[in-house]
Amino acid sequence: MDPITLAIHATPAFVASAVEFVEATTIVLAVGVTRGWRAPLFGTLAATATLAIIIATLGVAIVTIVPELLLKGVVGSLLLLFGLRWLRKAVLRFAGIVAVHDEELIYQREVAELRAQGLKRKEFDWVGFLVAYKAVLLEGTEVAFIVIAFGAAGGTALTAATVGAIAAGFFVVALGLALKQPLTMVPENWLKFGVGAMLCSFGVFWFAEALGMEWPGDALSIPLIVLTFLVASWLAVRMLRALLPEGARVEARNV
């Protein structure tokens, strides 16, 4: 696999998956710190096994059975729809209209809820198991979607996207295990902004390819499209900040 293909398909999958893994890690850490590690680790393992089954059956079937152009068309449309939603929310966050995603706050809320539920020392902690299982399964399903979306071209692209997601998983889990606290140093809001732009860019790229368009430089066009989305989004942030003065932006979150 040449380095350019690897960079184009593995990097977006790495970044997008890292965001999802950070969210799952926050929940698992909250469960582990409050209720002990046995149940959340079993929950995480069970969710990982469930995901492996889903990807091995559904994911592989989709990528191998569905014709490439149809897959690119469908995945491109879905990426655009979901990417636009991410990008819109990211722009509203950066403009100060929607509260920024705060991993520390989510962690503290989760810890408080879990403590409130109590713990019976002699029994297996099913609450801890289920909370961890659900968090890992939900965020993992999004990672699976990201891998299939960024690897929609099949072959090397799919391999690169898978490698990117697995690398993100190892990186985030290792960081979580080493620190044993929410990963607040990960610039999640910035990553989400970038991921929104990347999802939209891949959506435009795949959909046009499905229609038979040949992009100049093939996959090398993707960074240019991403840059266009980022510039337009940043201009939109500035436009919104100009529309709403500082005080009004704070009030807007409470309206």
Partner 1 sequence: MFRSIWSTLAGLLIEDGQLAIGALIALAITWGIAYSGGDQGRDVSGWLLLVLVLALVVANLYRAGVNVRARVSSARR
CA distances from 122 to 105, 114, 126 (A): 31, 17, 12
Phi, psi of 187 (to 5 degrees): -75, 75
Number of residues that bind partner 1 (CB under 8 A): 43
Smallest distance from partner 1 to CB 204, Å: 5
Smallest distance from partner 1 to CB 98, Å: 10
Residue for token pair 């020392």: 121
Q: Are 173 and 25 in contact (CB under 8 A)?
A: yes
Smallest distance from partner 1 to CB 243, Å: 4
Smallest distance from partner 1 to CB 121, Å: 30
Stretch that binds partner 1, among 21-29, 105-113, 115-123, 232-240 (CB under 8 A): 232-240
Q: Are 216 and 30 in contact (CB under 8 A)?
A: no
State which residue, 125 or 209, has the beta carbon closest to partner 1: 209
- Which residues in the 175-214 window bind partner 1 by CB under 8 A? 200, 204-205, 207-209, 211-214
- C-alpha distance across the termini of the chain, in Å: 52
- In angstroms, the CA 206 to CA 210 distance is 6
- In angstroms, the CA 204 to CA 76 distance is 6
- Which residues in the 26-65 window bind partner 1 by CB under 8 A? none
Burial class (CB in 10 A: 0-12, 13-18, 19+), 174: exposed
Smallest distance from partner 1 to CB 129, Å: 15
Smallest distance from partner 1 to CB 177, Å: 26
SS percent in the chain: helix, strand, coil, step 5:
80, 0, 20
DSSP state of 220: G
State which residue, 137 or 163, has the beta carbon closest to partner 1: 137
**One-letter amino acid of 46:** A
State which residue, 101 or 134, has the beta carbon closest to partner 1: 134
Give the H/E segment covering residue 97. none
CB-side neighbour CA atoms (13 Å) of 232: 13
Binding mask 121-150 for partner 1 (x = CB under 8 A): -------------x--xx--x---------
Smallest distance from partner 1 to CB 33, Å: 24
- Which residues in the 83-122 window bind partner 1 by CB under 8 A? 84-85, 87-88, 91-92, 95, 97
| Binding region for partner 1 (CB under 8 A) | 77, 80-82, 84-85, 87-88, 91-92, 95, 97, 134, 137-138, 141, 200, 204-205, 207-209, 211-215, 221, 225, 228-229, 232-233, 235-236, 239-240, 243-244, 248, 251-252, 255
